[in-house]
């Protein structure tokens, strides 16, 4: 999905933005299972979280990656509360060790997909130095 300025304005106009640490509430359409859904056109939609993360990163997210919340709010689209995962099951309910192993596997793949170390560390919520060290270990 290519994010145009028109889509960006449409999306963020449907978000109640709070402080960086607060959940940013999606005020738009919800899917049947009550999750945030963004209509790109009359025929196409995506999860609001996926759109928010892609807009934040400024790059396309592979179809092999899931955007999952680290908070309990299904309407939250705050990029600080979102992370990339290979599993749709990686949520706030998982233990930190599971998140760590998922993150370790994701870092080299994201790097080979063209993401910078800064973008990866922001998206995964990992410090830049740790991301860099994990990349060296994976090589």
Residue 95 has what pLDDT?
41
CA atoms within 13 A on the CB side of 110: 30
Chain segment 21-74, per-residue pLDDT in tens: 899 999 998 887 778 899 988 888 899 999 999 999 888 888 888 888 888 888
* pLDDT greater than 90 at residue 11: yes
d(CA 48, CA 23): 13
Into how many domains does the chain fold? 1
Q: Domain of 77?
A: 5-138
Residue 55 has what pLDDT?
92
How far lies 89's CA from each of 13, 15, 42, 44, 99, in Å? 29, 25, 29, 24, 11
Average pLDDT, the chain: 82
* pLDDT greater than 60 at residue 84: yes
Angle CA 85–97–78, to nearest 5: 45
Residue 93 pLDDT grade (very low, low, confident, very high; cuts 50, 70, 90): very low
* 3 state SS of 16: strand
């Amino acid at each position: 999905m290519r994010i145009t300025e028109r889509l960006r304005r449409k999306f963020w106009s449907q978000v109640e933005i709070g402080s960086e640490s607060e959940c940013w509430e999606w005020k738009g359409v919800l899917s049947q299972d009550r999750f945030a859904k963004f209509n790109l056109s009359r025929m196409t939609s995506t999860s609001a979280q996926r759109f928010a993360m892609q807009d934040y990163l400024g790059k396309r997210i592979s179809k092999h990656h899931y955007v999952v919340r680290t908070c309990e709010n299904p309407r939250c689209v705050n990029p600080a509360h979102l992370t990339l995962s290979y599993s749709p099951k990686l949520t706030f309910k998982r233990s930190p060790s599971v998140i760590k192993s998922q993150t370790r596997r994701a870092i080299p793949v994201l790097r080979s997909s063209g993401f910078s170390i800064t973008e990866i560390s922001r998206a995964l919520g990992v410090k830049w130095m740790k991301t860099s060290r994990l990349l060296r270990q994976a090589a």
